[in-house]
A and B are shown apart, each in its own frame.
Chain A
Amino acid sequence: MSEESIISLKNVNKWFGDFHVLQDVNLEVKKKERIVVCGPSGSGKSTMIRCINRLEEHQEGSIVVDGIELTGNLKNIDNVRKEVGMVFQQFNLFPHLSVKENITLAPIWVKKMPKAEAEELAMRQLEIVKIPEQANKYPGQLSGGQQQRVAIARSLAMNPNIMLFDEPTSALDPEMIKEVLDVMVDLANGGMTMIVVTHEMGFAKTVADRMVFMDEGKIVEEASPDKFFNNPESDRTKLFLSQILHQ
């Protein structure tokens, strides 16, 4: 099983000061697998996926992404980041650059792609997220949903093997959530390996291969969506589900 894994977390521990935010986290993700991570706030789910592209450093255990172990080695970190795309809750678009420039920047400077080719690529990515007409606007002129779709396009332009989503719809107005989720469903259907931290249980039911439930820095339950929603094992999961499904 472990040879097939594209992401492998073994006994990962992390502390923020004295706060033990990740406690012996183990997670194996196979190629093309779609994982949805949920759990109450402060449970360490964002921290976990931020460790996967080294935005956070873990202190114990090992994280191997696509055969590369994440250590202090800067070269490895750069290589992992080229493999792994990330979408943030707050979009984090570059406000001083146009939408097109946001997307072409990394291909041009990190992958040394010629400008014309990068622009063509950007337009293709914008078609995929269904907003090619916004190419020359600035992020501040777009709605939240559009910004998040640009952020997805920006990540995809680096042609990653893995996409991490850190609560991609939590900062959006309700009527914009769907347009972002639609893009993510397309992506999932296209065979992208995805780890998604979200509270959108509808999305989880449609696309997830596996649900991961975290609480207090630990993975409490891992199960197929069917089992997770209909027949969860732990009481903590039951309580959590009853709270978010009946709000």
Chain B
Amino acid sequence: MNEMNEVRKPPVATTGIIGWLRINLFFNWTNSLITLFVIYCLYQFIPWILDWTIFSADFKYNYLGEQITNQEMCSRNLDPENGGACWAVIYVRFYQFIYGFYPKVEVWRVNVAYVMLAFALLPLLYAKLPYRKYFLYFTYIFPVIAYFLLNGGLGFAEVSTNKWGGLLVTLVLGCTGIALAFPIGIMLALGRRSKLPVISMMCTLFIEFIRGVPLITLLFFGMVMLPLFLPEGIDMDGLVRVLVAVTLFQSAYMAEVIRGGLQAIPPGQYEAAKSLGMSYWRMNLLIILPQAIRISIPPIVNTSIGLFKDTTLVIIVGILDLLGIGRGTLADTNWLGLSYEIYFFVSLVFFIFTFGMSRYSLYLEKKLKTGINMGAD
């Protein structure tokens, strides 16, 4: 009987690497066949892609050792049998990809803004950051600093936004759109659920209208129609017009996402907050929204990633974001035919940012779940 009580270890074949392989990759014969097929595909694909992107690729010089200044000098055009990617186009045009046509003398300002953006994001990303409170103050004033840095004023020479481009425009549109749309979306979501029929109707109308219209239409609207609503003599900057359109679009989606979260909050939470004497705003800010937003993190990040990629649509109103610069480069006779390299690079940059966002959302979900059992009963 005593031996029955001894701790029995699970059978060897179900734990460790072998156990994992057996359960996940070779569970039965179909499973094994699929595993083998995928391994074969990877075996064919990975060496090829590594060779093309790295081992046979030109970065600055071609295989003759000359510095590449146009597409004819790329190894793959000189010797189609052997050459790989010709990254020289990215190397030569790197400045434009990152800054657009921002004047070279002033470009340090963009670099400072990039570094400051990283610092502004830090306290949002890491709750345990030392001196987080002070970092957060910085985050709040960062948009103002960034505005003067990038646009000019306060002693900085003015740089018109039509000189902005590339990653700079992509980040300005993406960050501002997401950051502004979040609070507006919350207000719209609360408004739509409001008991006051006028507010609720206005919010619903706004959300449904914006959601029912493609972003491109809104961009045209921003470009063409918005100036008509402004008093005469006031000229609205092109990028600002686009920003307004992007923000409106994103806030409508954000509102619906947050409304979904709000609907998941049991009525008892409202009742408990009310019975403690909390006002509408306190109840929402302290009790309802923290829970609703927590539930909505995956869709919030999802729509944010969507917006970040949708900013590429600004190309149709003549603003050159990262993709726009890429397409502009392709139209240059010097770099004709390098579409693989350029689209690969642009995709990679977008992927780095969106993948970062997605990992961050996972981290957030995990962090917020620890110690809190939302489905407690």
Contact = CB atoms under 8 A, between A and B. Distances in A.
Interface stretch (A34-42, A63-71, A79-87): A79-87
A141 B371 contact: yes
A158 B266 CA distance: 23
B272 interface: yes
Contacts of A85: 275
Q: Report the interface size class on chain A.
A: 20 to 34
Given A110-B282, A139-B376, A141-B373, A92 B276 contact: no
Nearest to A105: B286
B367 to A, nearest CB: 13
Contacts of A86: 271-272, 275
Given A82-B277, A88-B272, A96 B373 contact: no
Given A109-B286, A138-B372, A141-B371, A88 B268 contact: yes
Interface string B363-376: 00000000111111
Given A88-B268, A88-B272, A158-B277, A96 B290 contact: yes
A214 interface: no
| Residue among A106, A147, A154, A155 with the highest chain B CB neighbour number at 10 A | A106
B279 interface: yes
Interface in B274-319: 274-279, 282, 286-287, 290-291, 294
Interface in B259-278: 266, 268-269, 271-278
Contacts of A229: none
A158 B276 contact: yes
A86 B270 CA distance: 13
A140 B282 contact: no
A95 B277 CA distance: 19
B278 A110 contact: yes
Nearest to B291: A96
A225 B158 CA distance: 84
B286 A92 contact: no
| Residue among A95, A105, A110 with the highest chain B CB neighbour number at 10 A | A95
Given A96-B374, A140-B374, A142-B376, 8 more contacts: A81-B276, A81-B277, A84-B275, A94-B291, A95-B291, A95-B376, A138-B373, A140-B373
20 contacts: A53-B274, A53-B275, A55-B271, A81-B276, A81-B277, A82-B277, A92-B268, A92-B271, A94-B291, A95-B373, A96-B291, A96-B294, A105-B286, A109-B278, A110-B277, A140-B376, A144-B377, A147-B376, A155-B275, A158-B277
